[in-house]
A and B are shown apart, each in its own frame.
Chain A
Amino acid sequence: DAKTTQPPSMDCAEGRAANLPCNHSTISGNEYVYWYRQIHSQGPQYIIHGLKNNETNEMASLIITEDRKSSTLILPHATLRDTAVYYCIVRSLYLGGATNKLIFGTGTLLAVQP
């Protein structure tokens, strides 16, 4: 699985959009970009994933560059409850019998300020 690079920390004002970048320059054609977040002292929570098209769900939007070497997770209206560590993970789809593991880096600590 390809390696990802994220800034260690970011601040965002409450109510504003939070844009979290991730570099994955060694991503291969069959690898997806996944985002998880971990609120303090809880287990990680799945947010969104994508291959090459932009994706949106009720939690966030994922923008993947055309060359797929980087992506941005967007929380459109950040709240204090969005304060968490956000992990960008690149991996291929699960194939039956293969090991279904996630390789976490150190992530980005997003601090939403009131």
Chain B
Amino acid sequence: ETGVTQSPTHLIKTRGQQVTLRCSSQSGHNTVSWYQQALGQGPQFIFQYYREEENGRGNFPPRFSGLQFPNYSSELNVNALELDDSALYLCASSSVRDSYNEQFFGPGTRLTVL
């Protein structure tokens, strides 16, 4: 059984650029959630994908968007990067069949916006 993987591990961008982060869910999981974690804070829910559609969204602007693919992997896209977007971006997978919905997190992508 493979765990949740994310790529890249680190990324540096400049303000105004666009970025794409990738996540492969754990084997057997069909739901992917994305979280943003600023320094010293707990993770904040961005959105969730299930059946290739967005299924819930946190308080993030539309320039944060995502995709889920038929193999349940996912992408997080952020347009028009701002300095405050600098954070650790976490992906978590879970199964809709698991009512206790234990979420398995990847190691994260550290994004720095200069």
Q: With an 8 A cutoff between CB atoms, is A114 at the interface?
A: no
Tell me which of A20-28, A64-72, A100-108 binds B.
Answer: A100-108
Interface size class of B (residues with CB under 8 A): 20 to 34
Knowing A94-B99, A101-B33, A104-B44, the reply to whether A43 touches B105 (Cβ < 8 A) is yes
Measured between alpha carbons, how far is A105 from B96 in the docked complex, in Å?
A: 24
Total contacts A-B at CB 8 Å: 71
Residues of A within 8 A of B (CB): 32, 41-46, 49, 85, 87, 93-107
Show 30 A/B contacts (Cβ-Cβ < 8 Å), sorted by A: A32-B100, A41-B107, A42-B107, A43-B4, A43-B105, A43-B106, A43-B108, A44-B43, A44-B103, A46-B103, A46-B104, A49-B102, A93-B99, A93-B100, A93-B101, A94-B94, A94-B99, A96-B96, A98-B56, A100-B56, A100-B103, A101-B56, A102-B33, A102-B43, A102-B45, A102-B92, A104-B42, A104-B44, A105-B42, A106-B42
